[in-house]
Structures are given as structure tokens and as C-alpha cells.
Structure 1
Amino acid sequence: MNLDFDPKLLEFRKKIRSFFERDYPKDILAKVASGASLTTPEVRKAEMALGAKGWLASAWPKEHGGPGWGIEEQYIFDEELERAGAPTVTPMGVVYVGPVLYTFGSEEQQARWLPGIADGSVGWAQGYSEPEAGSDLASLQFSALREGDEYVLNGTKIWTSAANHADWIFLLTRTSQEAKKQLGITFICAELDLPGVTVKPIISIDGKYHLSQCDFENVRVPVSNRIGEEGKGWTYSQYLLGNERTSYARIGGKRAQLAGIRSIASQIPTGGNQRLIDDNAFAARLSSAQIKVDALEITTLRVLCSVKDGGAPGNEASILKIMATEIAQEITSLFVVAAAEHGNRKFADSVSPEWTGNAAFAAPGVATYFGARAQSIYGGTNEIQRNIIAKHVLGL
């Protein structure tokens, strides 16, 4: 079985790699490498650097402002972005709502919103989960009451990613109480600076602010902000979630993390103690993680290659979500082990009262470990994904 890319794609890879090495903002790369969070202006700068090349919306067709790349080019671009250590593209605009807009939105909505998403100048957030509707998303109660040419929005969205950097939010709202809870849900967009909108920070266990609670009190938006038909929001949301669950793969980033762990574990600690890489149990875990990333890559390519005519991945995307998030958690666990071993050995070898603890990789590595605990929860818990696989893939 030949898993090599077509040789004609080598020049494409060189072009992408050259951009990240020469032209991508160096201050952004340095801040990401330090483990610090980007400010909103820095997020805009990072994404507009890609947008200026026409590469931010890497999976979009040309007629909607994308580069018109095939699956292979998209995959190579993602690999090179992560290899360079660039921040992951905020998916709420280019991966989630953008494809919904050019698939189900009106021409006016496409002209209004797609350019700002594609060039990175406008940020978006996703308003799905609620305090009483997380994995059981169809139970949402965020209301949109129509009054003439407006909807009046009331309710709370929680665990809202990227709201702290966003200008707009797309929302699943309840416009009617149908017997089947998936019915009566409508897809509506709103600006986050409207009167009645309050965005409250949620600081996660890694100490970072990337989640928010968004409260809406009598917020008025025009009916023209509704995507598609009233009551069809559930259909649009399922299309979006297929794209979301494939976006977790991030093969290039995982390979870079494993290479970093191997380098750390191969160093001889102060005093000449045994290298961590020579510990059989640790080496076995590291090798197992590398094999799992290989399997994830092959599975990702199979799912992506099955997508036809610009559609969204099907229920098989749930397989990727489980694999990618569990592997991410395993990799970050290896960082913690490496940090602990480094600290223990350095402390044992130290004769100086000024010893300050672990190496530079430890703090960001441990923060990444804590942040990765949420991966098997958001985007639909892995338990929910297993139900989807059982029912809709295996037909059980």
C-alpha cells in the first residue's frame, strides 16, 4: 500500500512551508511557542496573514472565496501550519458557519458574511450548548420569538468557544415547541455587541480564557439574519457538526508534539542519570502513541476522500472525533510524565538551594494536558459519538 502523496504536490508543500518560514508573523509563532494566549488583535493578525494569501478558508471552493484546493492540498496545508507552530485557525467561521452559509444561505447573506470570514477580519463564535442542553443538544430552550421583521432572542449559551475574540455568533434557537424536539429549531446569527448581550468569561482548568457564557435578554435581530428556513436549524447543525468532528485530527500538530517529547526524553539529565527514552514503559507508551497517530492519519484520509461534491463528512466523522481526542489526551499525558521525571532527576542532582524546578517545556506542557481533558467532552461527548457509530454507521 503506497501512502505517499503525488510528486506534483511536493512543489505545493514547498510553497506552503516557505510562506510559514519566511512570511508568517514571527511574533505570533514566538507567542504560541511560549504557551501564552493570543489577544484578539493577535488572533486577527494571524488569521488575516493567511486570508491575504487566500488560504484561511482552505476547504472552500473558489466561487465562495476559497483557494479551490483538493483534499490533498488541504491536508498538506494543515500539516505545514501545525509543523510551523502557527496557531490553529479558529474554526467557528471558516470550518463551521462558512460552509453552512454557502450551502444553505441566501446570496445576500453570502455576500454579507463570507468575505469577512475568508479574509480573517471578522471573528465568529458558536452558540450551541446551554446550561441544560449539552450533549443532548436537541433539548435546547434558547428562544427566538418572531415579532414582525425581527426575532427577539432570550436565553443563555455556555461553553462558547472564541466569544472573547468574536464579532458575531451563530445560534441554534427554539422558534416553536414541537412534539419532536429536533423540530422547531432555527439557525440565527447575531452581533455580539448588540444591546442585551452579555459575554462572561469562563476560566478553564488550564488557566486560560477561551470559553464564555453568553446571556441574551430581549436581543432584537432582523429576520434576514436567519439562515435557511425556520424550523430547519437541526438539519443545518448536523451538516456543521460533520465538519467539526473531522477538524479534530490535527495530524501535523500531534506529530510535532511527539517529536518534542522524544527529544525531551532523549536528553541526559544533569548528573548523567538514565535517559527517560531508555525506560521501557515510557518508550512503549511513546511508540504506541505514534502508531495511533499513523492510524488516525489513514482513517482521516479515508473519511475525507469519501466526501463528494463539497458535502460534509457523514457519521463516520464520529470515529475521528473519538480517535483524535483520545490520542491528544495520551500525548499530553506523556508531556506530564516527561516534566515530572525531569523535575525529579534535576532536584535529586541539584546541590544548589536556588534550584527552580522544571525546564521551559513543563509549564505549557502541563497547561496543554489540562486543556486536553475537555476534548472528549466538547463537540459531543465521546460516549455520544459511540452511540452515533452504533446506530448510524453499524446499524445496531
Structure 2
Amino acid sequence: MTDLLNSPEDHAFRKELRTFVSENLDAETQRKVSRGAPLDRKDFEQWQSSLHKVGWVAPAWPVEHGGPGWNTRQRMIADEEFFRLHTPPLPGFGLKMIGPILMRFGTKAQQERFLPRILSGEDWWCQGFSEPGAGSDLASLRMKAIRTEGGWILSGSKTWTTYAQYANWIFCLVRTDPEVKKQEGISMMLVDMSSENVTRRPIRLMDGTEEVNEIFVNDVFVPDEMVVGEINKGWTYAKALLEHERIGIGGIGRSKHLLQRVREMAVVAGRENDTEVANALDALEIDIIAVEATTLRFMAAVDAGEKIGAETSLLKVRGTEIQQALTEVMLDIAGPAALPERGGQCVEDTFENVTYQFLNWRKLSIYGGSNEIQRGILASQVLGL
């Protein structure tokens, strides 16, 4: 595949990353990632621990908060190489969401308490945004926060909460003023998952896993020091968080890795010269290059201190469409071989977890704001329609 990052410096940095992975990544974890298998907490924790020892956990974080000081090109290369070498993705809710929000809007005490523990993996965060009846229409959320001495009493529920079974903290959007316009009465709060009357219930997905959950909060006290920024400014912080998230949600590294895997599957299945398959994969490769170039442009703008906004929705829409299309080609190539035998194992190892990955990745066009909503944002806020 054509590589936009291929200077001598880029190659030297790639070599450094590859050496590190070969010396530090658990072989069984690497095998699971290479085959698209579900991962457990141990897989994530072992890899994060290795990265933490050399200060590589948070490539996009400023050096003063524990980042490695990598530039835009290095961050893109690291993302690509780590996917290519089958490393587990690090839990993003702390590193890519609440961490950057605390750097920008949090108090010094919040930063000192939480940022080091996000880097070390001592704290595992989940995201409390979506609710029953308030998913893509996030501003309709109903979890209420009632003022009390020294803090707030929270009640309500959240749903589709990814990896909440591992989390010890959750950042929530809550309703602090029901009398104003719905976007203006929302605040962001940090909730200890070990608090009494916080419960979680797994949701079984069609791929057979339980990686998402329902969260129930019943009269839970949250002290004032766990409020992020100003009361009733949560919608502003949520938009900043989602815009930051969508820069990386295009999944360039993941798409490149999967494209290579699908090409290998085509060879195993004897379909490498199949015109339909070849045309589909060539078109997707071109799309990946286009999304990569656009992502680099956005990241360079951020590094230059420019404000970016709704245009990042483009990365979310096209990136997830590409990844879903790749799983569809993958399933087409595998055909009946993607179905497990009675003992639960595929006939051909190459096609292991193809069905799981196809089913699991149906979520990509829904999470982070559904693609239908993102198209509406692009139409109204970028194109002015």
C-alpha cells in the first residue's frame, strides 16, 4: 500500500517501534489481535504497562502531562505500526477523551490526581453519555443532579457503556438545570464507580460478547471537586471531547492492518485474481489514503494551534464506512469457512473470528455519534445547508 510517511527519519522511527514491539508484546496477545479475537483486561494492561515504562502511552499528550513529545508524523506512524504489528488498542476513554478534557478544562487538583493514573493504567475510565432515549440526540439526556451541601446527588441511567465492567471511574453528562434550553442545562461530572448505589448490568451483543453495559445511579453523592469546569457548561466540554475523539476515529492504522489481512485471506481462498475482490480492495485502499491525508491535515492544524470543529465528522463517517466495508469483503472471501464448526473452531485459521469481527464492527457507524447524525452536522455546520 502507498505510504505517505516514508522519509529516512520516518523509517528510523518505524525501526525503533518495531524493535520495541518485538521485545515487549506478549505473543498470545499479539496472536489474538492478529486474528481479530476479543481481548480481555489482561491483554490491555500488559501492553499499557510496557508502554508506560518508556513514556509512550499517550502520544498526543503534551510533554508536561506525560506525553512523549512526538510530532504529528510520529503519532501517525506509531498508530500505523502498532496496528500492523498487532498490538492491543489502549483504552481510549481515559487517554483520548477525559484526559485531554481535564488538561483543558479541569482543575489543577483534578489533573494531578487523575492524569498520572490514566497513564499508568491504575484508573480505567468509561464514558457516561448515552441514555435510553438520548443516544444520538445527546442533549435530551435525563440523568439529574440535585444540589446538596458540598456537592450533588445524581440519579438516572446510562447505556451502551463500553468496558464499564473494567472501569473504576466514569465521566458523565448530567442535567443540572431542567428549566433552560436543553443544551444549556448540562454539566460534566466524574463519578467513582465503587460508590454505593452505582450498579452495572452487561448487555449481550449479537457477536456473543458483553463489552457494553447499562449503568444505574441511584442517589449517588458527587462532591463539588468532581465537577469538570463550570456548572451548565457540560455541552461545551462534550463537543470539545467529541471533536478531539473524531480526529482519530478514522482509524487509519486499523484500516491499513485490516486491508492487508483481507488481501492475505484472498490468497488463501484462491481469490487474489478475482476481479470483483481486487477492484473492491483497490477502491478501499484509495479511500484509506484519502482519509489519511485528511487526518494529517487536521492534526497539523491542531499542532499549529488552529481550532477545528464539525469538519472532523467527515473522518468519522468515511473511516467507519471503510472499516465496515472491509469486514464485508472479508466475510465474502471467507464464505462458509467463516462459520465455526460444532467444536467452535473454524476449519481454516486464516478465517478465525471473521464472523465475530463482521458482527462486532456493525457498531462503528453508531458509536461516537451515528453516521446519520454526522452527515447532518456536516450539512448544517460545514456546508451551511
Q: Do they fold alike, i.e. is TM over 0.5?
A: yes
Q: Which runs of 5+ in 1 are unaligned?
A: 270-274, 348-353
In the alignment, what sits opposite 1:322? 317
TM-score (norm 2): 0.93
In the alignment, what sits opposite 2:350? 361
Q: 1:4 to 1:59 in 2, by over 3 A?
A: closer
1:248-268: CA deviation from partner (whole Å, max 9, x where unpaired): 22222222211122122123x
In the alignment, what sits opposite 1:125? 126
Name the amino acid aligned to 2:278: A
Do structure 1's residue 290 and structure 2's residue 285 form an aligned pair?
yes
CA contact (8 A) 1:12 1:73 kept: yes
Name the amino acid aligned to 2:82: L
Deviation at 1:309, TM superposition (A): 5.1
Q: More displaced, 12-21 or 41-50?
A: 41-50
Do structure 1's residue 89 and structure 2's residue 107 form an aligned pair?
no
In the alignment, what sits opposite 1:376? 365
Q: Which runs of 5+ in 2 are unaligned?
A: none
In the alignment, what sits opposite 2:169? 168
CA contact (8 A) 2:246 2:315 kept: yes
1:264-283: CA deviation from partner (whole Å, max 9, x where unpaired): 2123x6xxxxx212222222
Q: 1:35 to 1:263 in 2, by over 3 A?
A: closer
CA contact (8 A) 2:338 2:353 kept: no
C-alpha separation in 1, matches of 2:329 and 2:291? 18
CA contact (8 A) 1:335 1:366 kept: no
Q: 1:80 to 1:376 in 2, by over 3 A?
A: same
1:75-96: CA deviation from partner (whole Å, max 9, x where unpaired): 1111111011111121100000
C-alpha separation in 1, matches of 2:39 and 2:370? 27
Q: 1:288 to 1:342 in 2, by over 3 A?
A: farther
C-alpha separation in 2, matches of 1:30 and 1:108? 41
Name the amino acid aligned to 2:362: R
**For residues 1-396 of structure 1, what are the structure 2 equivalents within 5 Å?**
3-267=4-268, 275-308=270-303, 313-340=308-335, 358-396=347-385
Deviation at 1:227, TM superposition (A): 0.6
Name the amino acid aligned to 1:340: G
C-alpha separation in 2, matches of 1:141 and 1:343? 42
C-alpha separation in 2, matches of 1:335 and 1:264? 7
Aligned residues: 380
C-alpha separation in 1, matches of 2:223 and 2:37? 38
C-alpha separation in 1, matches of 2:314 and 2:353? 29
1:169-203: CA deviation from partner (whole Å, max 9, x where unpaired): 00001111143110111110011111001111012
Name the amino acid aligned to 1:202: I
1:190-224: CA deviation from partner (whole Å, max 9, x where unpaired): 11111001111012121112111000001112110
C-alpha separation in 2, matches of 1:219 and 1:360? 48
Deviation at 1:68, TM superposition (A): 2.0
Name the amino acid aligned to 1:79: E
Q: 1:66 to 1:288 in 2, by over 3 A?
A: same
CA contact (8 A) 1:60 1:66 kept: yes
Q: 1:327 to 1:381 in 2, by over 3 A?
A: same
Q: 1:70 to 1:174 in 2, by over 3 A?
A: same
Whichever of the two has the greater Rg, that structure is: 1
Identity %: 38
Name the amino acid aligned to 1:219: V
CA contact (8 A) 2:259 2:326 kept: yes
Q: Which has the higher contact order (CA 8 A, sep 6+)?
A: 2
